[in-house]
Structure 1
């Protein structure tokens, strides 16, 4: 539910009653992953989505019922060969949805929504499977280890749940963990669904050029905190970049050396001027960031690569450079170019091939790392 925190928070601030349905497990191909949520208030207003349309009607009815009887339920939706017209996922996957009523008081769910809406780092642990009296119980965990709420079981259950949730928050993961009712780690006890919400990843665009304007909008659309940096104050203006979260007038390499980056950060160098490109790329290619791309023709790329080698960049470091930046879409306009660049970022992030789905033989809904049920890695944009 934290993925719709910004939309839900006005309801929380108004003290409005609502019910929220959250995808807590996925098996096979499914349109939305763990953490996807849909909320319904007492007036029937809907926010969010759990399936992109396949089972929204049935989930809506479950939320309405939860508002009426105050009960938390877990429901499974999947495709049925025996009854193809039954409510289910036409893509062939299976999702488990936890439906929880949220009253006007301020339990961890409401506090978690407000914290996430403020871009604070929080983890929300909920009992997704276990004894009926524990189902839906929630514990809010912050990075410093402080907690709100409780799961209501054995005294050690909250302590273990808090430790597990904090570990998942540290890496920005969302998924499930199995804990016994006495707080020990084992299967067939209590299944916790832990949602982590961390501040949005950064996209830093170097070069206040026309193409950057469109890339800023695309980056914001994908959930990035977007910074535009250029050494020329006449170009790095709010009038030219109204959608940027931050504007910086400084030499790109100097700013990059002092600003904070992490393994989710995306760096896009659009200056295609060696005075700016080579110094900033020399710094960027040695940082543990997610993506380093640079704009320019293939001739520019060859010349830039030669200059980077002369600056001391190794062949291994140079292989991290995505240049010319973007996928081959035949892009011409700034908007098309921004789509090309962000498509490459998403493909690298998710392990996509960049091929048309018509020609691809891999599952449509897949992740670069795969792995355990419901696992979402820290590269995920909020």
Structure 2
């Protein structure tokens, strides 16, 4: 996770900023916001606590949007290689915007709330995403940028038990369900999803009520505040990409090993195949398996973490790729990394060398996620 270079005075604050300071958070610039990177527990203990119990994350810096109009799904489908038209009410789906070269502009979550689509985009990309959507909307579809809501993520094996104390109905939701729910008297938008690989929820709450809800949640013994540091190591262990690191405008979904996220109706022969930016390039890569590099998982054979930017080499000393994310792997128990390598070196079990401080450290290509995902599927 890299930090932005904004000056303190220019940084934006989430509605929970004062609460983070009260909780003793170490604050850093991130995506234009003053954000908590860790609390008193420290990154490793926050990571492990989330895996064992429940962690609360402030993700209010993310962009929350609504698309209104009977043709909203049809309009959004022209920008993503994902089936939005058949997205059931009360469900959400992972998607990404593509450019004309097949590269990824951003990844996002799209939900069908019946009367409208609810979209969550990455903080660092939200200004460009809003402009991108607005530039491609027909006259009968409108975009609403939500400015008056915070976004909390409650993650971990105890998350469902905790949130059900405030609203029992959430316990019946399954992974990727989303609904408008009253939590302790406050109208929230709750999805059973997250960015840690654990069971949990993301909760969109009116900004004016966010501090009170966060206090109620952190008052439970199972819940601790978790910062950006542990958020990064948690998502990496579970094989989840971070935009701007593992994904960018020069990387196609096929190179990024995200073929699972391209809906079959958008890549099979049929009237809805293609129809998104870069479709000819992406569909050719799928059909002909014509990519020169692939995103892979790597496990280290030493104790040294292999971080972003580390160059990778074959056993013969040929440069074959670069690491895009890396962590010590608190739960995995070994250093884990994501990287892009030449396709011929992407097979599971391939031995690769990582150059760290002048030394070539042995690593092995392995299947992701590095630790099991524990989403609740009913």
The alignment's TM-score, normalised by the length of structure 1, stands at 0.25
Q: Which structure has the greater CA radius of gyration? A: 1
Bigger strand fraction: 2
Higher helix share: 1
TM norm structure 2: 0.26
